[in-house]
Chain A
Amino acid sequence: MSFMDFTDLRYEKRTLGGKILPVVVCPRFNPRSQPMRVFDAVKGLLQGMRLTLGYLLSPSKIVTQQYPENRATLKFPERYRAILKFKYDENGLHKCTGCKNCEVACPNASIKVITRDSVITEDHELDRYIWRLDSCMFCNACVQACPFDAIEMGHAFENAVYDRRLLIYGLNPIAGPAASALENEEDPEVRRRMSDPRTILGGPIPLNGAGLPNLKPVAAAPFVDPLPIAVTDPLPPEDGEGEEVS
């Protein structure tokens, strides 16, 4: 038997706590006498070197990915969890009803849902959906808690910015009722008045980044175009736009 024989495993039964357990004992070879020992040492080193040399000579086995050069071809699994974003229907309308289940489910209060009463129907509806990327730990609890399938974890993972205020997002581009409620309204003019536009960094959010000059979030939640029924007027001045509330 050679010095380094890793198949020299001893199978036996041992009793512990009244149970008979199948046990395998690790190989333990004793070093041989001095001249053979030198031979074994050199052999062990050469074996390792031969292995690495084999990889050097067959580059097809190398698995290194050339990130970030391969950005264009990066593929993400469908369930990959990165930034939180809204789901939209074919008209670009969100499904959020402002029920705050996600806010309750969030383990570290990264989500704040601000609701309002609709100016038309006086129903409870979404005003701002604020998500703090800086404290989010991507646990998926909000997505699991959502009974309306309104949010999902997107795949954008390069979220570094130069100012942490830019990491607090308003996720909804349109404040207003969910698509299901909006569809009940027939009159296009009323439907238009039911929704207001919202900006990603605006609003009376503590530490929000709307007032920062020349800085834009890197991985902004993708905003769909406001739709036939949504607002196309110039933006009305938002409450506390650019104002920093601490």
Chain B
Amino acid sequence: MTVTIRTLNELLQPSHLPAHPLATQEYFVNMGPQHPISHGSLRLVLRLDGETVKEVIPVPGFVHRGVEKMCESLTPRQIVPYTDRLDYLSAFMNNWAITRVVETAAGIESNERIETIRTLMSELQRIQSHALWWGVTGMDLGAFTAFLYGFREREVISEIFEETVGARLTMNYIQPGGVMYDIHPNFVKRVKDVMAYMKPIIDEYDTLLSGNVILQERCRNIGILSPEKAIALGCTGPVLRASGVPYDLRKMENYGVYNKVDFNVVVGAVGDCWDRYYVRMQEMRESIRIVEQLIDSIPEGPTMTLRYNLPIEMPEGTYYSQVETARGVFGAFLVAEGKSEKPYPLHFRSPNYNNLWSVTALAPGWRVADIIAILSSLDLVIPDIDR
């Protein structure tokens, strides 16, 4: 097998002259780094023939902060707040990934109460993240009203987090040895209220946007990702499941208390933008089911099993743990030297990075406007790509 590596410079060489006098010349257009669809700073170089996309060259790196390098000089407890800042819409799940790898390495036992709280928070955040994504997708495709509706539900769940965690976005809640605080006394009641409120709301989302003819026309049969291609590109999460592969770490790895709850893996039939859209809509309903099954039976027990100021000793070795975030598999690979509690090195396997490159397979052949629908259906969070 040979691999050809081409630099961005080579890729952006002036295109060929048209072979036929009536044929058009290919040209490049920069989409981003400041583009409403990129939800951050992501540069996409489009090679176009007229309105038709020939090639998409993603150029990530505008939000690169060197988080992994920084983590080499931090203790495990100090790494946790940095993972909030990768995929900020899945902060709990990112915290959980690094916490799991540290707990595996150091052999820290967790208990049922901690795992239940972690699962509950992650599922609430999955609903929140998908609600926001739904609103943003609506806005990307021209329906600004959806954006306001998505933010309305996001706010309701944010208030639950604010009460228990004290933060709305950068949680730093799931930590090695447990969780930062015990749940707030109002938590159970509030979550029940919000879940009762959310169920009809998702049907309302369907009425408002899913049934809209413009969304249907822009999503159905656009950007079909075959299951083979999705696996080959390393896509995970809703993007992979929309292609029909029922790969969900919550079922495959049984972390947390997911083995105790009854829920379905949502898959799509074809793998087009519509399937990626509706997989997330249905996942919100499944997450509500998970939360409702867990909220009444939170076991008793301590919520932090470690003294805070004691160092976490990890024996020499390599460790890997992963969790399913709202966007796919987030993994943390840690090499412990055994000498100090600082890892050397630490690598994050972020779902958005792999999901981003599926655009190179999805976009060719479609029109510029379809790129919007395709990128929107991938639900990218740019800081997670650039890290």
State the A residues within 8 Å of B (CB): 4, 6, 9, 11, 14, 16-17, 19, 21-28, 31, 40-45, 47-48, 51-52, 63, 77, 79-81, 101, 105-107, 137-141, 144-145, 147, 153
Task: Flag whether B184 is at the interface (Cβ < 8 A).
Answer: yes
Residues of A within 8 Å of B136, CB to CB, are none
Q: Which residue of A lies closest to B268 (CB)?
A: A26
A50 to chain B, nearest CB (A): 8
Contact B266 A26 (CB under 8 A): yes
Residues of A within 8 Å of B265, CB to CB, are 14, 21-24
- Which of B81, B211, B267 neighbours the largest number of chain A CB atoms within 10 Å of its CB? B211
Known: A77-B162, A80-B162, A81-B166. 19 other contacts (CB 8 A): A6-B210, A9-B282, A16-B247, A21-B246, A21-B251, A25-B269, A26-B278, A28-B270, A45-B213, A47-B211, A48-B211, A77-B166, A77-B184, A79-B163, A79-B166, A107-B74, A138-B167, A140-B166, A144-B308
Q: Which residue of A lies closest to B79 (CB)?
A: A107
Contact A11 B170 (CB under 8 A): no
A234 to chain B, nearest CB (A): 40
A93, B76: Cα distance in complex, Å: 34
Pick from B74, B170, B181: contact of A79, CB under 8 Å: B181
Task: Flag whether B236 is at the interface (Cβ < 8 A).
Answer: no
Contact A11 B207 (CB under 8 A): no
Pick from B208, B212, B252: contact of A19, CB under 8 Å: B252
Residues of A within 8 Å of B251, CB to CB, are 19, 21
Task: Flag whether B356 is at the interface (Cβ < 8 A).
Answer: no
Q: Which of B157-191 contact A (CB under 8 A)?
A: 162-167, 170, 172, 180-181, 184
Residues of B within 8 Å of A105, CB to CB, are 77-78, 308-309
Contact A153 B166 (CB under 8 A): yes
Contact A24 B266 (CB under 8 A): yes
A135, B74: Cα distance in complex, Å: 16
Residues of A within 8 Å of B203, CB to CB, are 6
Q: Which residue of A lies closest to B152 (CB)?
A: A63
A106, B82: Cα distance in complex, Å: 12
B184 to chain A, nearest CB (A): 7
Given contacts A9-B282, A77-B166, contact A40 B246 (CB under 8 A): no
How many residue pairs between the two chains, A and B, have CB atoms under 8 Å in the bound complex?
Answer: 133
Contact B208 A145 (CB under 8 A): no
Q: Which residue of B lies closest to A80 (CB)?
A: B166
- Which of A11, A43, A63, A107 neighbours the largest number of chain B CB atoms within 10 Å of its CB? A107
A21 to chain B, nearest CB (A): 5
A152 to chain B, nearest CB (A): 11
Task: Flag whether B295 is at the interface (Cβ < 8 A).
Answer: no
A101, B310: Cα distance in complex, Å: 11
Residues of A within 8 Å of B252, CB to CB, are 16-17, 19
Given contacts A26-B282, A80-B166, A139-B81, contact A101 B172 (CB under 8 A): no
Pick from A48, A51, A81, A145: contact of B308, CB under 8 Å: A145
Contact A52 B184 (CB under 8 A): no
B271 to chain A, nearest CB (A): 11
In this complex, the interface size class of chain B, counting residues with CB under 8 Å from chain A, is 35 or more
Contact B309 A101 (CB under 8 A): yes
State the B residues within 8 Å of A (CB): 74, 77-82, 84-85, 145, 152, 155, 162-167, 170, 172, 180-181, 184, 203-204, 206-213, 216, 220, 242, 245-248, 251-252, 262-270, 274-275, 278-279, 282, 286, 308-309
Please classify the interface of chain A as helix (H, G, I), strand (E, B), loop, or mixed, using the class held by over half of its residues.
mixed
Q: Which residue of B lies closest to A76 (CB)?
A: B162
A16, B251: Cα distance in complex, Å: 10
Contact A24 B275 (CB under 8 A): no
Contact B166 A52 (CB under 8 A): no
A45, B210: Cα distance in complex, Å: 10
Residues of B within 8 Å of A47, CB to CB, are 207-208, 211
Residues of B within 8 Å of A44, CB to CB, are 211-213, 216
Contact A40 B166 (CB under 8 A): no
Given contacts A19-B252, A22-B264, A81-B166, contact A52 B145 (CB under 8 A): yes
Contact A51 B211 (CB under 8 A): no
Pick from B80, B85, B162, B211: contact of A4, CB under 8 Å: B211
Contact A48 B246 (CB under 8 A): no
Contact B170 A26 (CB under 8 A): no
Pairs A-B, 9 closest by C-beta atoms: A41-B213, A79-B166, A139-B81, A107-B78, A44-B211, A26-B278, A24-B264, A81-B166, A4-B211
A139, B75: Cα distance in complex, Å: 14
Residues of B within 8 Å of A6, CB to CB, are 203, 206, 210-211
A107, B73: Cα distance in complex, Å: 9
- Which of A16, A17, A44, A145 neighbours the largest number of chain B CB atoms within 10 Å of its CB? A44
A153, B278: Cα distance in complex, Å: 41
Given contacts A21-B246, A137-B170, A138-B167, contact A28 B269 (CB under 8 A): yes
Residues of B within 8 Å of A140, CB to CB, are 166, 172, 180
A182 to chain B, nearest CB (A): 24
| 14 pairs, A vs B, C-beta closer than 8 Å | A4-B210, A6-B210, A6-B211, A9-B282, A16-B247, A19-B251, A23-B265, A26-B266, A28-B270, A31-B216, A79-B181, A105-B309, A107-B78, A141-B78
Residues of A within 8 Å of B184, CB to CB, are 77, 79
Contact A81 B78 (CB under 8 A): no
Q: Which residue of B lies closest to A107 (CB)?
A: B78
Given contacts A16-B247, A77-B162, contact A11 B264 (CB under 8 A): yes
